[in-house]
Chains A and B, each alone.
Chain A
Amino acid sequence: MAIHVRIPTILRSYTGGAKAVDGAGDTLAQLLSDLDTRYPGLRGRLLAPDGGLHRFVNVYVNDEDVRFLGALETKLSDGDTVTILPAVAGGS
């Protein structure tokens, strides 16, 4: 078992084109560090200079926004799905 991570099209240049990759970590921060060892540069695109999540990046654990769960300290378990998406304008 591992943590399943969905990568948006715009960031697949870091994953060799892979739509989804597996990673490990007890928290989101650990997961991103783990991913960065195999996909260098990916972590840097997701974080702001202050070390927090980039304002225009949304990350969801099992479909729930991590900003409401604990941000980078959000706890992860094996089998979780992490989805990374660019922020887009919604509304109608």
Chain B
Amino acid sequence: MARYDSLLDACGGTPLVGLPRLSPQVPEGAPAVRLWAKLEDRNPTGSVKDRAALWMVRAAEADGRLRPGATILEPTSGNTGIALAMVAKLRGYRMVCVMPENVSTERVQLLRMYGAEIIPSPAAGGSNQAVANARQLAAEHPDWVMLYQYGNEANARAHYETTGPELLRDLPTITHFVAGLGTTGTLMGIGRYLREKVEGVVVVAAEPRYGELVYGLRNIDEGYVPELYDPTVLTRRFSVSTQDAVLRTRQLVEVEGLFVGLSTGAACHAALAVAHEAVRAGRPADVAFLVADAGWKYLSTGAYGGTLADAEAALEGQLWA
């Protein structure tokens, strides 16, 4: 069935595709180690965030927090804002995003196109500052509804109820699940579901390690861990450098024809690491990683052309995931 009553109904149900060329070679007679990509860019606004946005809006409507004509406020560096702006447009809400200045121009253009209003927050403060500014705005405008993706249980529940079951249905032999770590909603939801259903499943987080400029002014005591984050859901957590993320992003399109965003390159890097460990241990593995979005929004960053060093230099100071 590929017919839907509206765009919102077309959220989810994304393809899982094998990556036979990128999967590691195993010695003759050894068990297969296979990589799979869950194509979340095939959602209505082109990212995994459509699921979280739709679930958070539905939950807020159900509990009476969101009423017709209401204003939704959200700290976001892009995809969640774009997804919420689309949902808000179709459901009749006004959308206001607080966004760090150092995100790609495509994200700003897309948000405006979908009708969102943007309140910039200083680049130096990154997402932490966007969260703090949004909290202040919410206090000043008590009638605005901040869905707050970092602490909204419906964000993780979207994945517990849809993405997780889709993965297990399509890959009953799954041994590893890998995704980028941001709000942590995707990993918490899918991770919890898989842990309940698949004995011994390994849940792996790939966290972007940005250039030094992004961390430069961060005071350790003003750090931030999303409220949704529960480390017991994860088995392992990798920090992936900008260079490794760019390398894998390019490799995915060169080897498998898969054009992905940079956070997916980071997830792919961690997926390859655990896949090669399985090969060395002589164990079979079905490693699925999540493609959070495609590469379109990042073309202007310089990540897709020139040498790796050029790309790394171009991304210094940018929130690329």
Given contact pairs A92-B49, A92-B182, A87 touches B223 in the complex (Cβ within 8 A): yes
Distance in angstroms from A91 CB to nearest chain B CB is 3
Known: A10-B216, A90-B207. A85 touches B239 (CB 8 A): yes
B238 touching A8, Cβ below 8 Å: no
Q: Is A86 an interface residue (CB 8 A)?
A: yes
Q: Is A50 an interface residue (CB 8 A)?
A: no
For window 134-161 of chain B, which residues contact chain A by CB distance below 8 Å?
A: 149-150
Given contacts A45-B220, A63-B239, contact A89 B131 (CB under 8 A): yes
Report the contact-size class of chain B (Cβ under 8 Å from the partner): 35 or more
A-B contact count (CB 8 A): 114
Surface stretch bound by A, among B10-18, B73-81, B250-258, B302-310: B73-81
Contact between A89 and B239 (Cβ–Cβ < 8 Å)?
Answer: no
The chain B residue sitting closest to A64, CB to CB, is B238
Name the segment of B168-176, B229-237, B280-288 touching the other chain. Answer: B229-237
State whether the Cβ of B113 lies closer than 8 Å to any Cβ in chain A: no
B62 part of interface (Cβ distance < 8 Å): no
Inter-subunit contact A90/B208 (CB<8 Å)? yes
Please measure, in the bound complex, the distance between the C-alpha atom of A52 and the C-alpha atom of B128, giving whole angstroms: 24
Residue B22 is within 8 A (CB to CB) of chain A in the complex: no
A1 on the interface (CB 8 Å rule)?
no
For residue A83, CB closer than 8 A to chain B, the reply is yes
Tell me, in angstroms, the Cα distance from A10 to B219 when the chains sit together: 7
Q: Does B226 contact A (CB under 8 A)?
A: yes
- B183 located at the interface, meaning its Cβ lies under 8 Å from any Cβ of chain A in the complex: yes
Question: Is B56 part of the binding interface, using a Cβ–Cβ cutoff of 8 Å?
Answer: no
Cross-interface CB contact of A89 among B128, B205, B217, cutoff 8 Å = B128
Bitwise, B255-277 to A at CB < 8 A (1) or not (0) is 00000000100000000000000
Cβ contacts under 8 Å, B226 to chain A: 89-91
Q: Which of A22-30, A32-40, A54-62 contacts B (4 or more CB under 8 A)?
A: A54-62
- Cα distance A9–B212 when bound, in Å? 7
Q: How far is the CB of B253 from chain A (nearest CB, A)?
A: 21
Q: Closest 6 A-B residue pairs measured CB to CB?
A: A56-B223, A91-B182, A91-B183, A90-B182, A89-B127, A65-B237
Give 28 CB contacts A-B under 8 Å: A9-B215, A9-B217, A10-B215, A10-B217, A45-B220, A54-B220, A60-B238, A63-B241, A64-B236, A65-B205, A65-B207, A65-B236, A65-B239, A67-B237, A83-B239, A86-B218, A88-B210, A89-B127, A89-B130, A90-B184, A90-B207, A90-B321, A91-B150, A91-B226, A92-B49, A92-B76, A92-B182, A92-B321
